[in-house]
Amino acid sequence: MPRLTPASGYCTAKEATRLLNISDATLSTYVKNGWLKRYGPPERKHKFYKLNEIEALIASRNTFGEYREKLSADFAIATPEDIPAIADIDERTFNANKEEAEPKETYTHWISGTYRRWIQKNPEAFFVLRNRANQVVSFAALVPIKKSTMDLFIRDEIGMRDIPIDDIEPFESGKSVHLYVIALCVDPVYKTAKAKAEYGKLMIRGIFEFFLDLARRGVEIETITARNEKDKPDGKKLLQKLGIPQLRSPVPDMYLFSVRVADSGYDMLVKYSDILAEWKQEHSSTQ
């Protein structure tokens, strides 16, 4: 049978090795370790590779150095069924060790309800890493929020519970959004710096891949903004790895990070902007 031609957004193994600057044997190792996936009909020997995954892998390699993750976990968009696990990690990360912590049941009840409403409004706003036992070991919440509401939240003039559900926005082709990083964390049960770092790398690579998918769909991310409690340095490191500069915070006990994506010189965000520009050019010529 003649070889199939890869669909838009996919490439051949030969092109994948060229883009990654690796050998055929190393490409097979990447697949074996779960860093890349092969796509194509099972009866076909020659498979294809997804460009989003390759580009995100390159960005992760450039960000973190040589690609050597050993902890296996799969990145995925979260589903409503993941909310209990997400809420549990959230509670143990952001509430349990506070001097005036809310009771665990009280906290998980309201955070579960909030996240469930948000994921119903935007089913692509939450992400998880699942280990080989299918347990959630890390989650991220990158929520598009109306800019005026986000500004109030950044200044602590409103809390998470006060964000109107109508101000949570969907990802729509041809429209722009302002992303707020509500959370980006690894389950605190993993105490070692190595485990946190490796799961953090996998989560960030998955987010990079998602950004590129948004660009190819014509979704424009205008800004990415986040805050981080000053007593949680791991979160600060992950945000810096995402290429988000630190700004002066209006709230003393919080770090503030924000970037205008179109102005960023960070490699991954430049790649996102280039792909989005291509999408705009293609679609402007068809109108």
Domain boundary among 18, 39, 64: 64
Q: Based on the domain organization, do 78 and 137 belong to the same domain? A: yes
Q: Based on the domain organization, do 87 and 130 belong to the same domain? A: yes
Q: What is the mean pLDDT of residues 78-94?
A: 96
Q: What is the mean pLDDT of residues 107-111?
A: 96
Question: Does residue 120 form part of some domain?
Answer: yes
pLDDT at 225 over 90: yes
Question: Does residue 126 form part of some domain?
Answer: yes
Which pLDDT does position 69 carry in this prediction?
Answer: 53
Q: Which two tokens stand for residue 176?
A: 């722009």
Q: Based on the domain organization, do 78 and 24 belong to the same domain? A: no
Q: Based on the domain organization, do 93 and 47 belong to the same domain? A: no
Highest averaged pLDDT of the listed ranges 24-33, 215-224, 236-245, 263-272: 215-224
Q: Based on the domain organization, do 95 and 47 belong to the same domain? A: no
pLDDT at 1 over 60: no
Which pLDDT does position 70 carry in this prediction?
Answer: 58
Question: Does residue 245 form part of some domain?
Answer: yes
Going by pLDDT thresholds of 50, 70 and 90, the confidence category of residue 91 is very high
Q: Based on the domain organization, do 28 and 84 belong to the same domain? A: no
Question: Does residue 174 form part of some domain?
Answer: yes
Task: Please state, rounded to an integer, the average pLDDT across all residues of the chain.
Answer: 88
**Least confident piece of the model among 10-19, 121-130, 164-173, 274-283:** 10-19
Q: Based on the domain organization, do 57 and 79 belong to the same domain? A: no
Q: Which two tokens stand for residue 251?
A: 């709230």
- CATH code of the domain in which 211 resides: 3.40.630.30
Total domain count for the chain?
2
Question: Does residue 5 form part of some domain?
Answer: no
pLDDT digits (tens, 9 = 90+) for 2-49: 567 888 888 888 998 988 888 888 888 888 877 788 888 777 777 898
Q: Based on the domain organization, do 60 and 82 belong to the same domain? A: no
Q: What is the mean pLDDT of residues 129-138?
A: 89
**Least confident piece of the model among 167-171, 193-197, 213-217:** 193-197
Question: Does residue 3 form part of some domain?
Answer: no
Q: What is the mean pLDDT of residues 254-269?
A: 92
Q: Which residue range forms the structural domain that includes residue 47?
A: 10-64
Q: Based on the domain organization, do 230 and 110 belong to the same domain? A: yes
- CATH code of the domain in which 25 resides: 1.10.1660
pLDDT at 253 over 60: yes
Going by pLDDT thresholds of 50, 70 and 90, the confidence category of residue 65 is low
Q: What is the mean pLDDT of residues 188-196?
A: 83
Q: Based on the domain organization, do 99 and 215 belong to the same domain? A: yes
Q: Based on the domain organization, do 183 and 254 belong to the same domain? A: yes
Q: Based on the domain organization, do 15 and 149 belong to the same domain? A: no
Which pLDDT does position 38 carry in this prediction?
Answer: 87
pLDDT at 179 over 90: yes
Torsion sign over Cα 198, 199, 201, 202: positive
